[in-house]
Amino acid sequence: MNKVELENDALARRGIAVIKDGQSPAGAYIASPNFSQYGFCWLRDGSYCALAMQAVGQWASAWRFHAWVASAVGARLAGVDAPGQARLPARYRLDGTPEPAQSGWANFQLDGYGTWLFTLYDAVRLGPSSSEIDAVLPVAVDVADYIAASWRLPCFDYWEETADRLHTSTLAALAAGLRAAARLTGQPGYDATAGEIVAFMRERCVAGGGFVKAVGDARVDGALLSLGVPFGLVGLDDPLFQTTLGRIRAELSSPSGGVRRYVGDSYYGGGPWVLLTAWLGWCDRLIGDDPGCARARDWVRAHAGPDGTLPEQVIDEPQAPDMVGVWLDRWGPVADPLLWSHAKYLLLLAGREVPPWS
């Protein structure tokens, strides 16, 4: 995205402001400032916010996030005798402390740690050199050791569900994080482990000629876009990825063209998610499908609120209509704004390229 394009896109300008306003003084990006359940920083959500801010030149904001992660995660890893003994959480409070254990909301999740390493590598690879980035590298090594020791452990998926499986999107984040760590540290062993993970995915996470949601779950998931964009673990023209992309379009598209998480989703009715629709548009931009990119961009724009904020999902096209009211009664209206919805729109516009791993 060039400066003129950015200045001429009101939703992009609004998104940058939303992400900046949602960053705590310590550097954490809140998931959503207006949704009581999302008053935390998820490493995955926050890492995509940082990736988007890096893509639009907002380096100071992104580096504050990286420093916050290093502080929060470094404190959790301190005193752990072996990396495989840690069970790090998906989300932290904005001051970097863990969520109280008695909250009752399951929190063991691995994907955010790999996504952070990938995003940190993007900052180092494309941003100006910085002693601030160098200062977080020791924690990056500890995180890489942690995920290298833990990648075979079942954990919750992107959506805080199904804790007893190995999820393909989680494995992709871990492999990408280890590839990033190898380049950040010069330690080729991380690349070797990343290769093991990719080989495992190709053997155990494929059915019908494409990648599937998890080992033992042959559904497709919108988050499988990550294998190609941004992680670059498979080529965008790889037949496995092309089949996966085709299933996402065929099985997860709503009547208006939004993208759902997976078939059978009932959270707020399982409607289309803004960030997944933008993610598909980002992928289409990189594969040269300009009409597809434009459709996704226009769909996202059409679902922005009156004040230019992007919600988590749209509830007027549910796949489980009877569950919409259940969730509205339980938690109120859907999260709006959701920061990583804005992040994915910025990444769509920026067309952030897949890193060259070779």
Give tens-digit pLDDT for 222-248: 999 999 999 999 999 999 999 999 999
Mean pLDDT along residues 296-302: 98
146 neighbors 103 (Cβ within 8 angstroms): no
Angle between helices 43-55 and 111-126 (to 10 degrees): 20
Provide the domain limits for residue 325.
Answer: 3-350
Q: If you average pLDDT over residues 299-305, what whole number do you get?
A: 97
- For residue 1, the model assigns a pLDDT of 55
In a domain, 234, yes or no: yes
Write down the pLDDT at residue 350: 94
Q: Give me the phi and psi of 143, to 5 degrees please.
A: -65, -40
* pLDDT at residue 81 tops 80: no
Q: How confident is the model at residue 128 (pLDDT cuts 50, 70, 90)?
A: confident
Task: Please enumerate in sequence order all residues whose Cβ is within 8 A of that of 330, keeping only pairs 6 or more positions apart, or say none.
Answer: none
What is the pLDDT of the chain when averaged over all its residues? 94
Q: Is residue 2 predicted with pLDDT exceeding 70?
A: no
pLDDT score of 3: 61
Q: Using one digit for the tens of pLDDT, what is the confidence trace for 131-176? A: 888 889 999 999 999 999 999 999 999 999 999 999 999 999 999 9
Percent residues over pLDDT 70 in the chain? 97
Measured distance CA(182)–CA(207) in Å, rounded:
30
Position 5 pLDDT exceeds 90: no
pLDDT band at 84 (very low <50, low <70, confident <90, very high): confident
Q: Could you say which of 132, 160, 196, 353 is catalytic?
A: 160
* 160 in catalytic set: yes
Tell whether 356 is covered by a domain: no
Distance CA 242, CA 236 (A): 7
- The catalytic residue among 122, 142, 265, 312 is 312
Q: What is the mean pLDDT of residues 71-77?
A: 92
Average pLDDT over residues 306-328: 97
Answer yes or no: is 107 within a domain: yes
What is the reported pLDDT for 79?
A: 77
**130 lies in some domain:** yes
Round to whole Å and give the CA distance between 160 and 105. Answer: 9
- In the predicted structure, residue 103 carries a pLDDT above the cut 70: no
> Does residue 358 form part of some domain?
no
**Tokens 């516009």 -> residue:** 349
Tell me whether residue 312 is one of the annotated catalytic residues: yes
The one-character DSSP state at 164 is: T
157 in active site: yes
Question: Among 61-65, 99-103, 112-116, 321-325, where is mean pLDDT lowest?
Answer: 99-103
Query: Domain of 130: which CATH number?
Result: 1.50.10.10
Instruction: Report yes or no on 24 lying in a domain.
Output: yes
Q: What is the mean pLDDT of residues 245-260?
A: 98
pLDDT at 356: 84
- The residue among 89, 101, 17 whose CA lies nearest residue 53 is 17
Number of domain units in the chain: 1
What is the rounded (10 degree) CA torsion for 208, 212, 214, 217? -50
Mean pLDDT score, 346-358: 90
Q: Is residue 355 part of a domain?
A: no
Catalytic residue among 122, 142, 157, 221: 157
Q: Does the N-terminal peptide bond of residue 337 adopt cis geometry, omega within 30 degrees of 0?
A: yes
